[in-house]
Amino acid sequence: MTPAGRLAATIEILDAIAESGRPGDQVASQYFKGRRYIGSKDRQWIAQAVWRVLRRKARLDWLLASINVDPIDSRARVLADLVVEGGEMPAAEMFQGPHAATPPDALDRKMMERLHKQSLFHRDMPAWVKSEFPEWLEPRLTNVFKDELPREMGAMRDEAPLDLRVNTLKGTREQAMAVLAAQNIPSTPTPHSPIGLRLEKRVALVQVEAWRSGLVEVQDEGSQLVALLADAKPGMSVVDYCAGAGGKTLALAADMDNKGRLIACDVAEWRVDRAQDRLRRAGVHNVTRRVIGGESDKWIKRNAGMFDRVLVDAPCSGTGTWRRNPDAKWSFTPTDLEEIVASQAVILASAARLVKPGGRLIYATCSILGEENEAQIEHFLSADPSFSQIPVADIWAERTVNPCPVATPSLRLSPMSHGTDGFFCAVMVKKAD
């Protein structure tokens, strides 16, 4: 693929992401699937260019607006990205050939000359521009991170590492490291999760024997810690209430050593079905998949008070995953947050009905916003006095020798402080009869 073709593809994908409203990784994946002729190195170059522009969007837009560029679209951002800090003026060949992008006109060339090697951190940029998050979220994020806001949100700009969870049904962390090393894939133990590995570079998982055999699964270390705090044990009755594609379901099954009753619930049948291949590859056979119709589902009423553990990995804003999904932040609105918070409260109250006396309710999100996290727990506990919160440090000490990463009752993780995605987890126990 020519340099011109790569550049044109980058602009096309960014346009498609902006127009479709769908997650960027889905748009890019569909683009490449429809163009099998694009080789792996070309795909890698294009993907890196797309995500680099998305991670710099607020700063690129600010720089373009500062020199009165109009319109500020995908093409303008890509041209600016080529020449800003560390970049060089593009060669003519970048715009030559049958599939090339439109060559720069006089205004484009003037814009690139003015931005050539311009710093991405101008002293006049507002804090939300420098840290790449929506302006309307600044008061909420300041309330959470206080003076650490610039550093915390700065870490959100960076690319996330690739974390793996070792499937203890099939082997140990040391064995997984050895299998990976045999394929020249270096890995290091994660600092907090006792069963996590972090890869030094991204790999194509379909070519990784440890993944194909079910010895490892892709799972951010923060997500692994949520499953660890559920403290599911062999022989228990457990519900993964919002199971989705089954990442935490797999971790719970391994903790249970395939013994006991594990129900994976979700309101979307396609998500429940999608977990089947992962369960089979992992060697999990104690899971029953169930589609529920929301909080009024009769199954919930029939099984009230029947489970030792109920994990609610609630639908959320996904603000903790912005390192992986930088495009998502710009389509997130105050109305979206209001609707999500209301939905979470309903889901949590509904799932709580399943917990038996003495059992535990685990609430988790991949959000960094207080409204979805501490405020939800405070509201739930005030509405249902039959539950009380257990400090995560108490559970942590029983599950691993690694030091607990937080001193607060709930687990709150962030890229800057812990090297994970942004996660929240609170554990509550139902009073025994």
Active site residues: 366
Residue 379 to residue 428: CA distance in whole angstroms: 13
What single letter denotes the amino acid at residue 312?
V
Strand order in the sheet with 196-199: 187-189, 196-199, 162-166, 216-218
Name the pairing type of β-strands 423-430 and 355-365: antiparallel
Name the pairing type of β-strands 196-199 and 162-166: antiparallel
SS3 at position 226: helix
DSSP state of 96: -
Neighbour tally for 134: CB within 10 Å? 17
Residue 79 to residue 132: CA distance in whole angstroms: 19
DSSP state of 2: -
Nearest to 172 by CA among 197, 139, 144, 199: 197
Neighbour tally for 126: CB within 10 Å? 11
Name the pairing type of β-strands 196-199 and 411-413: unpaired
Show Cβ contacts of residue 140 under 8 Å, excluding neighbours closer than 6 positions: 369, 370, 371
- Cβ 178 vs Cβ 166: under 8 Å: no
Q: Phi-psi bin for 121: left (phi > 0), alpha (psi -120 to 50), beta?
A: beta
Q: Is 88 exposed, middle or buried (0-12, 13-18, 19+ CB in 10 A)?
A: exposed
Preceding amide of 357 cis, omega within 30: no
Residue 94 to residue 80: CA distance in whole angstroms: 14
Name the pairing type of β-strands 261-266 and 287-291: parallel
